[in-house]
Structure 1
Amino acid sequence: HDPVEAVSLADRVLVLDDGRVLQDEPPAEVTRHPRSPWVARMLGRNAWPGTATADGLQLAGGGRLVVAEPLAPGTEAL
């Protein structure tokens, strides 16, 4: 299915990969908070896995990002 069509028309979105449920939530939650790099890429987003810090996101591969919505320090994030 077309991911844009799915999040535009659905009340809930179920994302599967090889028969495994990766995410089952309302469309806004799936688009704003993808639960895996695969879901993020499927939606055409960049996936930057890392750990939240007091001032942003420490990337798994090195480097830091400033984030618009801070998370609790130590939280794993995309």
Structure 2
Amino acid sequence: MTDDELMATFENNTIAPAAFSHERHVRVAWLLPRMYGAVDGFERLVVGITSMVGWASRMLFMSRSLAPGSASLCW
């Protein structure tokens, strides 16, 4: 994944948490301040990680809380 692709998926919150390896985390943390400056870059990092954790937590909750076949009850 190129830097541009990584940044696009991170900033659009479309990168799966499982695909956000340590190496990619470091790349994002290195690229953001270069793209947006130290303060704005750090704020974007916090927002992106927080969004990713929230998304992963919701998916984990859904996968553990729904019994097989009960997903249709939610719709």
Q: TM-score if structure 1 supplies the norm length?
A: 0.24
The higher radius of gyration belongs to 2
| Greater relative contact order (Cα < 8 A, sep 6+) | 2
Query: Which structure shows the bigger proportion of residues in strand conformation?
Result: 1
Q: TM-score if structure 2 supplies the norm length?
A: 0.25
Query: Which structure shows the bigger proportion of residues in helix conformation?
Result: 2
